[in-house]
Structure 1
């Protein structure tokens, strides 16, 4: 949801501020990276798929694949 994305961005802002001030514990850096990864994953899942990507996915299935059981 959009609320979850807003929370992730707020967490990232908080991590960045603490790191920039130099008063963050060392454990904050991996948490910041984890938050960045979550934001990137959301962006990747929500982006539009191009016709070329669909075509590649379909044609990469191979001739021995079927759409059903």
Structure 2
């Protein structure tokens, strides 16, 4: 999961992806904390990444992170 980060203070997961020109842009998910769980409230990709599959790859990384964290 390169560049996948949990910005806990901001309650936001984020990962960077390259667009067609090689420029890096974020995909992120805002979350709420409910006990030991995190509830995803909103997922968004930078406009330059839309339609490129970055959000799907991000969601896969998020699921892997959730499994690893239990």
TM-score tier by shorter-chain length is: 0.3 to 0.5
Output the TM-score relative to the length of structure 1.
0.33
| More RCO (CA 8 Å, sep 6+) | 1
Structure 1 or 2: more helix by fraction: 1
Output the TM-score relative to the length of structure 2.
0.33
Structure 1 or 2: more strand by fraction: 2
